[in-house]
Amino acid sequence: MDKHSAPGPQEPNAMIGPGHSFNSVTDKISSIVLREGAPRGWWIGFGIGFVLTNMMLVSLIYLFARGTGIWGVNIPVGWGFAIINFVWWIGIGHAGTLISAILLLLRQEWRTSINRFAEAMTLFAVACAGIFPVIHTGRPWLAYWLFPYPNTMGLWPNFRSPLIWDVFAVSTYASVSLLFWYVGLIPDMATLRDRTVKIIPKRIYGVLSLGWRGSVRHWHRYETAYLLLAGLSTPLVVSVHTIVSFDFAVSITPGWHATIFPPYFVAGAVFAGFAMVLTIAIPLRRVYELQDFVTAQHLDYMARVMLATGLIVGYGYLTEAFMAWYSANPYETFMMSNRMTGPYAPVYWLLITCNILSIQALWFEKVRATPIGLFIVAMFVNVGMWLERFIIVATSLHRDFLPSSWAMYAGTVWDWSLFIGTLGFFVSLLFLFIRFLPMISIFEMKTMVPEAEVREDLL
Amino acid sequence: MAKAKLDRSAFMLPAGHHLHSVQRIALIVGIVAAGLTAFGAMSNPVQFFRSYLVAYLYCLALGLGSLGILLLHHVVGGRWGSILRKFLEAGSRTLPMLALAFVPLLFGMHELYEWSHADAVAHDPVIAHKSLYLNSTFFTVRAAVYFLVWITLATLASRWSAAQEEGGGPAVNKRLEFLGRGGTILYAGTMTFAAIDWVMSIDVHWFSHIYGLIFVAGQVLTAMAFMVVVASSFAGRAPFERIMCADRFHDLGKLMLAFIMVWAYFALSQYLIIWSGNLPEETPWYISRLSGGWEHFGSALIIFHFVLPFVVLLSRDVKRNPRSLALVACALLVFRYMDLYWLVVPSFSPGVFTLHWLDFSAMAALGGLWIALFVQQIKGHTLLPLGDPMLAPELAEGAES
């Protein structure tokens, strides 16, 4: 925690607004779920997401009917939107795990009000990410071949390929994240079960809360389980994107084969993830009037994490550029000059603007304290991180060792419709989550209320 | 900040503390070893510069790593850093002397770096390409810039910390935070290039993107282990017993474990990517380090620099006990030297294991003198940051007892 800006007299507890009690916290958060009907804004948002989800489904069906030829990928750029979108989505997921697991282990209280929806965001982002590698195989109905199982064909996946490590890393990540999220939800499901008056929701929340009664023994075991899951999730934050970076780095393609890739990708993932958390949190707290729970202090801390990880990403860009020259390898040098001055140069400089220049605004306390300003920076980063992956994938492949096979790459209509479709899928899942589950952890928020403070002199 | 003025004298190094005798012994060892090393330098200058480089990098890690942790602490805060802060400041104040100790290396440039030879530049197109960056003048200028940055950061950190102790208030706290933010970036940036200049360029053809970060992680780990040893010598002594308590050592143990994992992560990343690429311009670096006896060194590093400390530090009891934690830290300090030795020396002796008595005497000389200097820096100052708002309640309690 930041000791120099310890809370002054004007902000006694910046993690929660003034005047809250146990009751008001439960009322405020559960009412969003338990109210009759959804607000109009919810229907509009969900509607847009739903339409785009259908666009995704259409794109998928057409893809299955016609094959990957409808995309822009071809030799030499055999990896296109599919891997770009995969890496982008999976990176976004990392903030959720970081907030829920690592910040828990570091005893950072400010994680409390943002962890629930950040974890939900992780799950939905991983769901979107998972689509791409599977459909990129061309025969998604044979995707189970990715798993090593004894079969009559005597075939095994290549265990030296990081693509196969990806299968394990991402599926572990998805299952642990789901478990962590669900375990975190159990006490709150019980609250909803007890509060709702309608019979069907009562049954559903009742089953999902696994018979939670809130006894001391329940809490004791619960806290242990939650901490163990946090410990289990922590290496996953690092391992998943490390292996994603290996997808590129273990090859010898100039621009991919760089030893800085693992930490640089992990930092980029957290960077993109925090940008997405801010993108979601800022409108959400405004629409549902949650400024008391997701306070200015929360936004400030998230902005700081974004700035710090963004600077690490900047370090990555700098090392890449310097080493391309220092290596004295003509292919490396050419790759970098092609990035900076070649046909994709505008994309490269746009990426630098989005990821490096725009975040410099976050040095200023004023910007971090203005939700609109933060939202704009976060949007820049969302775009910038997608462009980064585009640059890494496209510029290294389109002009590689053999000049006779150089070519340009661009996504087709179907590439874009699928990508935008997954955005819609993500948004619809998020809206469903907001409608049916408490988006802020009720029981953890209660520990922030002044009444919850342990008074040692009374013990 | 309404706090009673604390009695500074209660927080100075106590007269009977064994750091005093450590300083005396270190000084004697340092001077004797320096004499021996000087003798060795006359008879075998090439070996001297190689041994001196490793020993120098080790002491630099103690001083510069202290600065790195100090700056990081000013960014992220936390009580673990508050209890170490004065020691870290003392460590970082050794940087001017470390700058002085760098001068012999400038004279050894020709013995150490192939790129400093005009005929190598003339005959090797790769060296010729790099000579824009790797040339004696620019090398010296860069080293001067690095030290200027580091010494400035260290001086400001100590000065503003003293101002905080005088009751500087929120303005000084703010200044220290800014120093931490900017300083962390400057430290990582300059050390990356220093690692390229001083070590990576020995193998002038070889390059690795993550190399600078491996050095930064190693320095931070070295300084952390050293500071754990220093802090453990105050555990359980009045007036520190409430402040340097089991909880704090638990924190330090966790951090040390984290830094060990970061080091292993960086090292594995570099190895796996280079092994997998299997390119003739990259693999020689590992081949010269994994043959002719060096491979045992490499395996020992995996076991003693990662696996063992990792397993031991998972234990809560080990971390909470200052003595056992200090023991782990001492072992780590030895393996940090091994790691540096393995990073540097095989470049001079690829595929042939070598160890010279000058390696020991240079390390004893620089290490002894550094420790003596470090204790000297501790002496004139309080052992805890009395102005640190985070420690205020415990300090008040400690002063009463």
pLDDT in tens, A337-367: 999 999 999 999 999 999 999 999 999 989 9
Query: pLDDT over 90 for what percent of chain B?
Result: 79
**pLDDT band with cut points at 50, 70 and 90 for residue B390:** confident
Query: Which residues from A are below 8 Å from B163, CB to CB?
Result: none
| pLDDT, mean over chain B | 91
Average pLDDT over residues B373-387: 89
Pick the residue of A103, A240, A245, A260 with the most B CBs within 10 A to test the interface with B by mutation: A260
**pLDDT confidence of residue A457:** 62
Q: What is the pLDDT of residues B13-24, one digit of tens each?
A: 888 888 899 999
Tell me if the bond preceding A76 is cis, omega within 30° of 0. Answer: yes
What does the DSSP 8-state code read for residue B305?
I
Structure token digits, residue A375: 């939202």
Contact at CB, B265 and A263, closer than 8 angstroms: yes
Whether residue A367 contacts residue A373, with contact meaning beta carbons closer than 8 Å, is answered with yes
**CB-based contact, B183 to chain A, within 8 Å:** no
pLDDT at residue B389 above 90? no
CA dihedral A101, A107, A111, A112 (to 10 degrees): 100
**pLDDT confidence of residue A33:** 83
Query: Which residues from B are below 8 Å from A108, CB to CB?
Result: none
**CB-based contact, B133 to chain A, within 8 Å:** yes
Average pLDDT over residues A151-172: 90
CA distance A80 to A391: 10
Chain B: closest CA distance from residue A17 (Å): 24
Average pLDDT over residues A61-80: 92
Nearest CB to B77 within list A3, A262, A328: A3
The model's pTM is: 0.93
Chain A: closest CA distance from residue B152 (Å): 22
pLDDT at residue A122 above 60? yes
**pLDDT confidence of residue B340:** 95
Query: Which residues from B are below 8 Å from A329, CB to CB?
Result: 281
**pLDDT confidence of residue A455:** 62
| pLDDT, mean over chain A | 89
Contact at CB, B188 and A315, closer than 8 angstroms: yes
Contact at CB, B209 and A261, closer than 8 angstroms: yes
Average pLDDT over residues A383-396: 95
Q: Mean pLDDT check: name the lowest of A5-19, B111-125, B349-363.
A: A5-19
pLDDT at residue A73 above 60? yes
Whether residue A298 contacts residue A113, with contact meaning beta carbons closer than 8 Å, is answered with yes
**CB-based contact, B76 to chain A, within 8 Å:** yes
pLDDT at residue A14 above 50? yes
pLDDT at residue B1 above 50? no
**pLDDT confidence of residue B397:** 67
Q: What is the pLDDT of residues A20-30, one digit of tens each?
A: 888 888 888 88
CA distance A273 to A95: 4
**pLDDT confidence of residue B399:** 58
pLDDT at residue A5 above 70? no
pLDDT at residue B330 above 90? yes
Query: Which residues from A are below 8 Å from B274, CB to CB?
Result: 259
Whether residue B70 contacts residue B220, with contact meaning beta carbons closer than 8 Å, is answered with no
**pLDDT confidence of residue B5:** 60
Longest Cα pair distance anywhere in chain B, in angstroms?
73
CA distance B343 to B324: 29
Contact at CB, B209 and A6, closer than 8 angstroms: no
Outline where A35-114 has alpha helix (H): 40-66, 81-97, 103-105
**pLDDT confidence of residue B400:** 58
Nearest CB to B390 within list A3, A251, A263: A3
CA distance A420 to B38: 70
Query: pLDDT over 90 for what percent of chain A?
Result: 61
| Highest averaged pLDDT of the listed ranges A145-149, A235-239, B266-270 | B266-270
Query: pLDDT over 70 for what percent of chain B?
Result: 97
Query: Which residues from B are below 8 Å from A251, CB to CB?
Result: 277
Classify B233 as helix, strand or coil. Answer: coil
Q: What is the pLDDT of residues A325-345, one digit of tens each?
A: 999 999 999 999 999 999 999
Q: What is the CA radius of gyration of chain A?
A: 23
User: Would you say the C-alpha torsion B97, B59, B64, B394 has a positive or negative sign?
Assistant: negative
Q: What is the pLDDT of residues A283-336, one digit of tens each?
A: 988 888 888 888 888 899 899 999 999 999 999 999 999 999 999 999 999 999
pLDDT at residue A6 above 60? no
What does the DSSP 8-state code read for residue B13?
P
pLDDT at residue A13 above 60? no
Query: Which residues from A are below 8 Å from B391, CB to CB?
Result: none
Average pLDDT over residues A379-398: 95
pLDDT at residue B54 above 60? yes
**pLDDT confidence of residue A7:** 40
Contact at CB, A250 and B272, closer than 8 angstroms: yes
pLDDT at residue B4 above 60? no
